[in-house]
Structure 1
Amino acid sequence: MSEPIQAYCMKCKTKREMRDPQPVFTENGRPATRGTCPVCGTTLFRMGATPAHEGLTPPPPKPTTKKEKKASRKRRSTTSATSGEKSGAQQGKGNKLVIVESPAKARTIGKYLGRGYTVRASLGHVRDLLKSQLSVDIENNFEPTYRVPNEKRALVKELKSAAQKASEIYLATDPDREGEAIAWHLLESMDVPQERARRVVFHEITKNAIQEAFQHPRQIDMQLVNAQQARRILDRLVGYQISPLLWRNVRSRLSAGRVQSVALRMVVEREREIRAFTPEEYWTIEAFFAQMSTRGQDPRPSFKAKLVRVNGKEPHLPNADAAQAILNALQGAQYVITDVRQKQRRRRPSAPFTTSTMQQEASRRLGFGARKTMQIAQQLYEGIDIGDGVVGLITYMRTDSVNVSREAQAEARDYIHKTFGETYVPAKPPVYKTRAKQAQEAHEAIRPTSVWRTPDSIKQYLSRDQYRLYELIWKRFVASQMAPAILDTTSVDIVADTEGRVPADAEQVDETLRAALARNPAYLFRASGSVVRFPGFLVLYEEARDEDAPEEENIHLPDLHAGEHLDALDVQALQHFTQPPPRYTEATLVRALEEHGIGRPSTYAPIISTLQSRGYVRKESKRLVPTELGEVVTDLLVEHFPEVMDIGFTARMEEELDQIAEGKREWVQVLRDFYGPFSQRLATAQKEMQSVQVEEDAGETCEKCGSPMIIKYGRYGKFIACSNFPECRNTKPYQEKIGVQCPECGGDIVEKRTRRGRIFYGCANYPECEWSSWKRPLPVPCPDCGGLLVEANRTTVQCLACEETFSRADIEALQEATE
């Protein structure tokens, strides 16, 4: 057996044993070996001869003249400039300059455009309102004051130099209002006239989409820019003028926001509904029936039915006595099927994803938070190297539209026909209606850029999370273009005869008696069930049940007939209690915001992150629970700024921003209409808002005076202090437990920071226990020795005891299996 060959993996940043090593030669005839990394799939390359090279003839070395060397250097220079790696001074004069937001997007687009184009990344916004002041001249038609941040000045200088040398300028930022505003700010920062620049828009980063966009450039749409400006100024007016009131009256480093505070109010009010809820007792009655023909079988096949009518009315059973009275009345009753109704039902697939529905489904199926979902979706959109080059795998991920291009529909129908057969292709492509109140229909739904790029075919090039989200998007889209499922549904009515009209040994009653029993029955039971006749889209995908939805019970019914006499195996009463409304999860809060028309697809994830980072809400078993601080802030804002905190008012503001984007409203007038009443409320609040002290119990007792310790907020974040201040000035650093035990003493491992702010992990029992690590410990023990695992890098974990390394994806899968 040949000796294994190792090479350094640039992605894992460690040596790996090559998978499928192949002997090769360089252009100069030097021997080498090429293979792949067994962990991440990256191509590995190692110079040097091996036994596998024996008997192989190397190619003759390629002669290189001075002229070829010069041409090679020129090609390398052009390639680097195309990918955005060369500065403006090094770019060839007369190149066409293309500016996008991110380096990943620049690399992907640069590959499709090729020579003659220089693609640079702006790294997001290059200009914004000043952080140190309001930056809005209220008296001068709300004129904003924009500034290039210090960290962006060098970049803007480079872009400006590149723009001066470029023959054409293309702004290829994202296809939404935010992207339109970034493009406008770029022109303003670079002092480039609008007529000299061209705006290109595409919803997917593929060769065809890029080429199509560059064939149809346009000017910057100032209506979209003004809509974004109005939103930014509105948020600044609210945030920068209300937040100082919270600093003065509650505590420092709090924030208020036009949308953020309304979302917080929804979480707080849901919690108060739950507290105010009083459970009410109620009972139901169900029976298990079997056909007489199954007598003698053990066990007897049976089915369940529920009591649905008592003397023609829905049963009201508030307590055990009422339920027992029904059971007593049913003693000795005979049960006859009076009606069997069979129907055919068509179940249609769900629409392809919008931002909101993608976040909801990723939460339900994958356990992803909104922020994580958007981060991974951004990676899939901007491009992944799948072996034959970098390609964008999904369309733009910030959208509230369910529209699908005809080309994408045609490709999906072709795939479905060839993979599943003709019966799975609907006669006409499905058309879905957007549920969002203010959807931008010019956008497309989130879908794969090519359905032929199946999840399994590119799995080796994706991280575990990238693969799982891409598979979800791919399946949802393909299923949305498939034929509906067809179900056979059966509903059976069963009447209890308590008057002795049905002979106990009769397997079937005559039609006259059946009809008599069906008229005004005293006790009516009902059983329903369904069977899939044609699976349609269900062969590929079924939308996950909502976290708050009751479980659907699908009863399997035997072949039943009207007039059939049944044996009652058991009749029982079940106690229940009404349930309060559930707390919001990230997914259900996003859905509620969308249904009310609050915020935009781009704002959902940041809003939820801010609510948690400010300490307004915390997560308990994936549910959002308001803190005392969150409730105090909500009460103050509702009292002093009822319009800003009103759900309907916030939704109407979103509609007015949409009208600005459509050219139906003038942005300054919208701001003026808002600020008049708001400024009056602000002046009143500055005089009348009362101070409120919010203290969080740290769960500890002061070892100096015995008083409770509380969590406080200082310049550098949280710390623990004695509640008996100023008599007792005892303080401690705030330590956040990560849910892992110390391998040396069994104490809690906590997250700590050095004086320079670098995060490390140590034992809470310090200085008695001095265990510490720069790498974050994981709650899963080493599968080999049971030792402590820590994060080695983005894709690998390592055991501190046996020093063995493992794929992070494998460990995460192990953790999910044990939870």
Structure 2
Amino acid sequence: MKKSLVIVESPAKAKTINQYLGAEYIVKSSIGHVRDLITGKSQNKEKNKKHPNESIFAKPNKKTLLIKKMGIDPYHNWKAEYYILPGKEKIISELKSIANQVNHIYLATDLDREGEAIAWHLKEVIGGDSSKFSRVVFNEITKHSIKKAFQNVGHINMNRVHAQQARRFMDRVVGYMISPLLWRKISRGLSAGRVQSVAVRIIADREKIIKNFIPEEYWKLNLSLFTKDKKKIEMDVTHYNNKIFRPKNRNEIYYAIEKIKKSLFFVKNYEEKIFYKTASAPFITSTLQQSASLRLGFSVKKTMFLAQKLYEEGYITYMRTDSNYLSKHAIKKVRTYIKNYYGDDYLPKEPNLYSNRKHSQEAHEAIRPCDIKIENINSDNLSSSAKKLYKLIWNQFVACQMTSVKYKSITIIVLADLFKLQKNEQIVLFNGWTRLLIEEKNINYEFPVLNIGDILFIDKITPNQKFTKPPPRFSEASLVRELEKKGVGRPSTYSVITSKIQDRGYVKIKKNKFYAEKMGEILTIRLKKSFSNLIDYNFTAYMEEKLDKVADNKIAWKNVLDSFFEDFSKQLEKAKKSPEEGGMELNSIVPTSIKCPMCCKKMGIKTAITGVFLSCLGYNNIDITKRCKQTINLISLNDFNKEEDNHRQMSLELMNRCDECNMSMDSYFIDKKLKLHICINNPSCLGYKIEKGVFKSPVYLSEIIQCEKCNGDMMLKTGPFGKFFICINKTCKNTRKILPNGEISDPKLEPIPFPQLLCKESDAWFVLREGISGIFFAANTFPKSRETRSPFVEELARFQYLLPEKIHYLSSGPIIDDYGNKTIVCFDRKTKKHYITSKKEGKFTGWSAIFIDKKWCVTSK
């Protein structure tokens, strides 16, 4: 009997599914996408191919070249040209070979639009009789789900494929057609994205609000009162003369205090209410990303990577979903679990049901555990981070089907002349789902028994000075929430969005908060003016709805593309014109009075993808031989300054206002005696200020750095990953990083050969090296042999004489732990320090020791 071929996306998924299917099935993986739209690079392999509209005699024009680069032709019914991704030829050849030998082919790729598109591409490249292909979808890799899926096979949903293609084509058009314009008008290396640019705008708009925010002083008044039987109660003054009580200065608050001291306090209202709070819905993609960021500190990218692993191993349902739906089978299982493990008090009479969100596009389930009985994963196949994420998902799923939390809400209102005082308190009467999700203690605060009309007496008056604060910067969690709220992108794309805007240098993350880079701000302003629709929140959300309608077969996908391209082309043609004709404004250099140290010409403020710097105006000399290429790095004060207190922040904002447009100014160090303040509207605004003095500057501005390898001088540079020093000796190329605290990183450890320590996987020997994860042993024949491992402490002790002073202390550590296991050297990325731990049979024992006050201390057992 002939077998059937089942094609999935990942090897891990194939391995898991293979356990549940019989011997009559061959399960193979495509390892993700197998083909993509052709690009300029991919065309180098196919130079002899001609575009259908290109004459073999004529030199291709700009439009034809652009179409070839994009791989799509928006001018001729959106014809597309695909190519096999590099490295996938062997996989496709194998799939074709097996396909010719089987009766049937099941395309079991993921159940979202991307998975549907991969299934279609696989069918296209394998070819053959269409009747041999069937589409299989399942949202969890369990025996029950897979068996059910193979009993209900279908066909590829071309509407969903077209929706995915429409998104891909629009993104390709924006990227390939705007980027050349940005290179000409603003700076080389720039690009725009249909959705990514909107995300940058969200961050840049918030950045502008924060920079222009001026704190305002206000005061609050807290009173400690007591009853005639000496029972105390804390209350806040909320109103005066039926208006919100908000004194603006010290005089106003002291006037209010003197007045309130003479007032009679009596209870106006005392009210108790019982209310219930249900648990939040089970996780969808976006809420999982937010919760993992807030509770576990995971990035969106890491969360999705770990969730993919959990899904492929069969622990959770499909992780790309925006549906809150839960199957009856899953609800039945979890309700039984709650009853057995938590009791009837925690089980609602009826299941808790959650409605889907407005733009929910998928009909499958929310993210939940496949087997509710597995509370914690014990498998060695998954990392500790993956296990933590699973526990988070398990807790949320179980909690969402538990009883509500029961609260008692107490509201007390006290009047004193024209003043109104209020106290609100909540007391947990029954913890419900919070028994599982959060530690919420039952408050046993005893309120005094109060009746309307009771008289109260002053015990203590506490005035509190406050300052208004700007809206907070976005974290990854809050950015995802904002994207979701505005309907920008889809949950499955948030990971790509947050990664791309950082990789391209438009924003950076500092202490888990997004900061807009200057180039990100300039790009946002230019795109706002020239491509208003492109980064308009409503328009972007509108396009997402259009794509949803394409997937539902309500509108034709090429009609959506035609409409988009018509408007986009008009804006593009206008943007190409000169600024005087209404075209995109240039990223001009802003002249300053600062002289170039090389040629004495004036220097100007310039912004590039690497940051803001001073560039000699002599660079534009018509005579190339006389051009001056001198530049001066500008060090942003924000790169190392700690958060200012409210008084300091307010004075800075008031002082550093642009004389030209009255906007706030960004501040930079030129050197330890010069500061440069630049208008945030630069280069549109020419305003700047030079401040002279002796300033507390970063360590690296006040020290002369010499290369530890060749003793030459080192020059400060700015690159894609921040500031660093590089040796001016071109044959040396040694570098030193600038740490977040403004200090210079220690010199890298020179590789130390250990020919006495032989590798196991080859006949090479080890070299001690230093990387981002501390010291490690690596084969001396790298990259031929990639064998690496952690050093044993006994090895470092044995060859102590080879070690530099920097790591000499590691050789003095414990050679064995308390149980006789050999110890190894590891590195903590958070503290940036080495520590000693031990393993037994390949697993960490939990024992560790750290070096404190020149001695080793055991910290855990």
Assess same fold via TM > 0.5: yes
1:147 deviation in Å?
0.9
The alignment status of 1:293 with 2:233, answered yes or no, reads no
Contact 1:618–1:627 (Cα < 8 Å) also in 2 = yes
Aligned match of 1:452 = 373
The amino acid that maps onto 1:183 is A
Aligned match of 1:537 = 433
Aligned match of 1:39 = none
Contact 2:8–2:109 (Cα < 8 Å) also in 1 = yes
Aligned match of 1:367 = 297
The alignment status of 1:565 with 2:455, answered yes or no, reads yes
Contact 1:289–1:568 (Cα < 8 Å) also in 2 = yes
Contact 1:95–1:168 (Cα < 8 Å) also in 2 = yes
In structure 2, how many angstroms separate the alpha carbons of the residues matched to 1:282 and 1:746? 43
In structure 2, the residue corresponding to 1:561 is in which secondary structure? Answer: coil
Of residues 379, 382, 391 in structure 2, which corresponds to 1:471? 391
In structure 2, how many angstroms separate the alpha carbons of the residues matched to 1:812 and 1:663? 60
Cα separation, partners in 2 of 1:422 and 1:580, compared to 1, 3 Å: same
The alignment status of 1:139 with 2:75, answered yes or no, reads yes
CA deviations 1:154-213 (Å, max 9, x no partner) are: 111110111111111101100110000000000001013432211011111111000000
1:624 deviation in Å?
0.4
The amino acid that maps onto 1:96 is S
In structure 2, the residue corresponding to 1:590 is in which secondary structure? Answer: helix
The alignment status of 1:527 with 2:448, answered yes or no, reads no
In structure 2, how many angstroms separate the alpha carbons of the residues matched to 1:201 and 1:784? 58
Of residues 107, 113, 116 in structure 1, which corresponds to 2:24? 116
Aligned match of 1:505 = none
The amino acid that maps onto 1:239 is G
Aligned match of 1:711 = 718
In structure 2, how many angstroms separate the alpha carbons of the residues matched to 1:746 and 1:721? 10
In structure 2, how many angstroms separate the alpha carbons of the residues matched to 1:529 and 1:495? 18
Aligned match of 1:125 = 33
In structure 2, how many angstroms separate the alpha carbons of the residues matched to 1:367 and 1:661? 35
The amino acid that maps onto 1:407 is H
Matches within 5 A, 1:497-512: none
In structure 1, how many angstroms separate the alpha carbons of the residues matched to 2:410 and 2:835? 61
Matches within 5 A, 1:133-172: 133-172=69-108
Deviates more, 1:260-269 or 1:437-446: 437-446
Matches within 5 A, 1:84-103: 94-103=2-11
In structure 1, how many angstroms separate the alpha carbons of the residues matched to 2:490 and 2:269? 51
In structure 1, the residue corresponding to 2:559 is in which secondary structure? Answer: helix
Contact 1:775–1:790 (Cα < 8 Å) also in 2 = no
Aligned match of 1:402 = 324
In structure 2, how many angstroms separate the alpha carbons of the residues matched to 1:187 and 1:347? 50
Deviates more, 1:117-126 or 1:463-472: 463-472
Cα separation, partners in 2 of 1:358 and 1:790, compared to 1, 3 Å: farther
Contact 1:751–1:762 (Cα < 8 Å) also in 2 = no
Cα separation, partners in 2 of 1:803 and 1:364, compared to 1, 3 Å: closer
1:730 deviation in Å?
12
In structure 1, how many angstroms separate the alpha carbons of the residues matched to 2:824 and 2:331? 46
Which sections of structure 2, spanning at least 5 residues, go unmatched?
A: 41-68, 579-583, 589-605, 612-632, 636-699, 707-711, 752-766, 773-781, 792-805, 816-822, 852-858
The amino acid that maps onto 1:648 is N
1:357 deviation in Å?
0.5
1:681 deviation in Å?
2.0
In structure 2, the residue corresponding to 1:343 is in which secondary structure? Answer: strand
The amino acid that maps onto 1:536 is G
Cα separation, partners in 2 of 1:719 and 1:320, compared to 1, 3 Å: closer
Aligned match of 2:345 = 423
Aligned match of 1:73 = none
The alignment status of 1:616 with 2:506, answered yes or no, reads yes
The amino acid that maps onto 1:538 is T
1:247 deviation in Å?
3.2
Deviates more, 1:283-292 or 1:140-149: 283-292
Aligned match of 2:411 = 491
Deviates more, 1:630-639 or 1:277-286: 630-639
In structure 2, the residue corresponding to 1:602 is in which secondary structure? Answer: helix
In structure 2, the residue corresponding to 1:292 is in which secondary structure? Answer: coil
The alignment status of 1:481 with 2:401, answered yes or no, reads yes
The amino acid that maps onto 1:260 is Q
In structure 1, how many angstroms separate the alpha carbons of the residues matched to 2:742 and 2:217? 43
The amino acid that maps onto 1:645 is I
User: What RMSD, in angstroms, separates the aligned Cα atoms of the two structures?
Assistant: 4.2
The amino acid that maps onto 1:97 is L
In structure 2, the residue corresponding to 1:568 is in which secondary structure? Answer: strand
1:803 deviation in Å?
8.3
Cα separation, partners in 2 of 1:628 and 1:813, compared to 1, 3 Å: farther
Identical-residue share of aligned pairs (%): 38
Of residues 146, 152, 163 in structure 2, which corresponds to 1:216? 152
Cα separation, partners in 2 of 1:791 and 1:657, compared to 1, 3 Å: farther
1:559 deviation in Å?
3.7
Aligned match of 2:214 = 278
Aligned match of 1:443 = 364
In structure 2, how many angstroms separate the alpha carbons of the residues matched to 1:228 and 1:590? 21
Matches within 5 A, 1:304-315: 304-315=234-245
Cα separation, partners in 2 of 1:341 and 1:789, compared to 1, 3 Å: farther
The alignment status of 1:105 with 2:18, answered yes or no, reads no
Of residues 574, 588, 613 in structure 1, which corresponds to 2:464? 574
The amino acid that maps onto 1:420 is Y
Contact 2:824–2:836 (Cα < 8 Å) also in 1 = no
In structure 1, the residue corresponding to 2:173 is in which secondary structure? Answer: helix
Contact 1:721–1:730 (Cα < 8 Å) also in 2 = no
CA deviations 1:719-751 (Å, max 9, x no partner) are: 9799xx9xx999966654577999xx9826599
Greater length-normalized contact order (CA 8 Å, ≥ 6 residues apart)? 1
Matches within 5 A, 1:722-741: 735-736=736-737
In structure 2, how many angstroms separate the alpha carbons of the residues matched to 1:122 and 1:759? 39
Cα separation, partners in 2 of 1:427 and 1:673, compared to 1, 3 Å: same
Aligned match of 1:694 = 607
In structure 2, how many angstroms separate the alpha carbons of the residues matched to 1:735 and 1:642? 43
In structure 2, how many angstroms separate the alpha carbons of the residues matched to 1:324 and 1:271? 36
Cα separation, partners in 2 of 1:443 and 1:366, compared to 1, 3 Å: same
1:541 deviation in Å?
1.1
In structure 1, the residue corresponding to 2:491 is in which secondary structure? Answer: coil
The alignment status of 1:355 with 2:285, answered yes or no, reads yes
Cα separation, partners in 2 of 1:331 and 1:785, compared to 1, 3 Å: farther
CA deviations 1:345-370 (Å, max 9, x no partner) are: 11111000111111111111000000
Aligned match of 2:762 = none
1:116 deviation in Å?
0.8
Matches within 5 A, 1:652-663: 652-663=542-553
In structure 2, the residue corresponding to 1:150 is in which secondary structure? Answer: coil
CA deviations 1:667-718 (Å, max 9, x no partner) are: 11110001012112223333434245425347567989999844257xxx99
Cα separation, partners in 2 of 1:274 and 1:739, compared to 1, 3 Å: closer
In structure 2, how many angstroms separate the alpha carbons of the residues matched to 1:156 and 1:192? 14
TM-score (norm 2): 0.69
Aligned match of 1:240 = 176
In structure 2, the residue corresponding to 1:413 is in which secondary structure? Answer: helix
In structure 2, how many angstroms separate the alpha carbons of the residues matched to 1:813 and 1:353? 39
Contact 2:723–2:737 (Cα < 8 Å) also in 1 = no
1:376 deviation in Å?
0.7
1:270 deviation in Å?
0.4
In structure 1, how many angstroms separate the alpha carbons of the residues matched to 2:811 and 2:847? 9
1:409 deviation in Å?
0.9
Cα separation, partners in 2 of 1:368 and 1:707, compared to 1, 3 Å: closer
Cα separation, partners in 2 of 1:222 and 1:803, compared to 1, 3 Å: closer
Of residues 233, 236, 261 in structure 1, which corresponds to 2:197? 261
